[in-house]
Structure 1
Amino acid sequence: MIHYVTILLILIITTFSGSAGALALKKGMNDLPQLSIKLLLTNGWIYLGAFLYILSALTNIILLKFLDYSIAFPMTSLSYVWTVIISYFIFKEKLSVRKVAAILLIMLGVFIISQ
Structure 2
Amino acid sequence: MINYGAILTILVITTFSGSAGALALKKGMNDLPQLSLKLVVTNGWIYLGSFLYILSAVTNIALLKFLDYSIAFPMTSLTYVWTVIISYFIFKEKLSIRKVLAVILIIIGVFVISQ
Structure 1 length-normalised TM: 0.99
- 1:80 paired with 2:80, answer yes
Q: Structure 1 CA distance, aligned partners of 2:111 and 2:66? A: 17
1:71 is displaced (CA, Å) by: 0.1
1:103 is displaced (CA, Å) by: 0.3
1:34 is displaced (CA, Å) by: 0.4
Structure 1 runs (4+) deviating above 6 angstroms are none
1:2 is displaced (CA, Å) by: 4.2
Tell me the equivalent position of 1:65: 65
Tell me the equivalent position of 2:107: 107
User: What is the alpha-carbon root mean square deviation over aligned residues?
Assistant: 0.6
Tell me the equivalent position of 1:37: 37
Q: Which runs of 5+ in 1 are unaligned?
A: none
- 1:25 paired with 2:25, answer yes
The alignment-based identity, stated in percent, is 83
Q: Which runs of 5+ in 2 are unaligned?
A: none
1:33 match: secondary structure: coil
Tell me the equivalent position of 2:15: 15
Q: Structure 1 CA distance, aligned partners of 2:3 and 2:95? A: 35
Structure 2 length-normalised TM: 0.99
